[in-house]
Amino acid sequence: MSEHQREFKEVYGYAFEDLQMGMSASVSRTVSEADILMFAGVSGDTNPVHLDEEFAASTMFGGRIAHGMLSAGLISAVFGTRLPGPGCIYLSQNLKFKAPVKVGDTVVARVTVKELKTEKRRAVFSTVCTVRGTTVLDGEAELLIPARD
């Protein structure tokens, strides 16, 4: 693949025909106080375990935690910007939340091609979010991928 083709794919995404088993991509983000507050505002999820330190201190987490769907949103960011990239359509996602994420944690979201369904241009991906090597979320997603022109 030429440098131009690689740059094109990074900006405009991969066509279904370009995907291969085992391909992987990731993004990372350090969760800030502002991220949690903005996510609560946008989603309407004002559960005090996310927003109230005194309340959260009395929970099994011993303090405030980020919304699980904030980490899950990073998976969507990988799909929409890296692999397969712009033009893909998110069809389904299952998630298992394994550990809490707190302010200051850096979440790494990684997706890996697990199965290619050629007849329908669909791809199944394993999806994992980690913090310092600990899995905080895992699951599987299915996407519809545009064909090459």
Q: How do residues 17-37 score in pLDDT, each as one tens digit?
A: 999 999 999 999 999 999 999
Burial (0-12, 13-18, 19+ Cβ within 10 Å), 94? exposed
- CA torsion angle 4 5 9 10 (round to 10): -30
Nearest partner of 141 among 120, 121, 115, judged by Cα: 115
Average pLDDT, the chain: 94
What pLDDT sits at residue 147?
87
Q: Which amino acid is at 17?
A: E
**pTM for the full model?**
0.90
What pLDDT sits at residue 92?
98
Positions in the chain short of pLDDT 70: 1-11, 149
- Are 112 and 125 in contact, with CB atoms under 8 Å apart? yes
Residue 144 phi/psi, 5-degree rounding, is -95, 130
Percent of the chain past pLDDT 90, that is, above it, reads 88
* Structural domains of the chain, ranges and CATH numbers in brackets: 3-30+67-144 (3.10.129.10)
Nearest partner of 36 among 104, 128, 134, judged by Cα: 104
